[in-house]
Amino acid sequence: MMETMRQNEVVNIDSAAHTHIKFCGMTRMDDVRIAQRLGVDAIGMIFAPKSPRCINLSHALRLREGLSVELPMPRIVALVVDADAALLADLASTLKPDLIQFHGSESAQDCELSEVAYLRAVPMHGMTNLATWLSAYPHAAGFVFDSHAPGGSGGSGQVFDWNQLPQDRRKVWLAGGLNPDNVGEAVRRVRPYAVDVSSGIESAPGIKCAEKMQRFVEEVRRADVATRSQ
């Protein structure tokens, strides 16, 4: 556990007035518990075999069971890449995630197969027809804007040009190269619905750094205060 966090510290922020935070690629119980104590809004679990952060369903269930019922419960996001129908059915019936994040070449019809609310990852590298691309997913709960190219799976740790984002930020989950050093600027400039981070709070793939996790949350909250005062 991080030494800098007070023993009973919990971050309580009005959900209508703060930038939501998603920690993705969670693999360890301690990291999940720290994220919950920091008041993170969502934790992502990856079910893509090619990812170094991939876990199986049994592992995911153990992580979920380790969350404290005495603290605000983060949303569970299951990230998949071109998953088959069997995996989607298992996730929906067993893990029961709050959201499924589709990070491959899935069509809107593919995303709606499981009848679970979904996020759609948007490959921003080389994107030239963003409005048309987004309009193909009218029922998406949100869009995770990442820096990968079409056919890639994200996680590059690279920042894309935020000026490319749509003007309406209500469904914008900003990803792509975020870390404690730049997330404050991202929140102030973009004002997204949520920020999404994985490698930017790690010491190694799948191994989250407690200090980076805490500093990331602190920088987001500091930027929230700054934007509310403008």
Give per-residue pLDDT as tens, 90-146.
999 999 999 999 999 999 999 998 889 999 999 998 888 999 999 999 999 999 999
Q: When comparing pLDDT for 8 and 63, which is higher?
A: 63
For domain 20-228, which CATH number applies: 3.40.50.2300, 3.20.20.70, 2.40.10.120, 3.40.605.10? 3.20.20.70
CB 95 within 8 A of CB 116: no
CB 44 within 8 A of CB 101: yes
Mean pLDDT value across residues 167-172: 96
Strand partners, 99: 77
Supply angle C-alpha 70, 97, 119, rounded to 5. 120
pTM equals 0.90
Q: Positive or negative CA dihedral for 46, 49, 52, 58?
A: positive
**What integer pLDDT is reported at residue 126 of this predicted model?**
81
Contacts of 117 by beta carbon, 8 Å cutoff, 6+ apart: 98, 99, 100, 141
Categorize the per-residue pLDDT at 156 as very low, low, confident or very high, splitting at 50, 70 and 90. Answer: low
**What integer pLDDT is reported at residue 45 of this predicted model?**
98
**Catalytic residue IDs:** 24, 146
pLDDT above 60 (res 16):
no
**What integer pLDDT is reported at residue 154 of this predicted model?**
55
Nearest to 102 by CA among 94, 92, 88: 88
**What integer pLDDT is reported at residue 149 of this predicted model?**
54
Q: Rounded CA gap, 147 and 158, in Å?
A: 6
As a whole-number percent, the residues of the chain with pLDDT over 90 amount to: 82
pLDDT above 50 (res 48):
yes
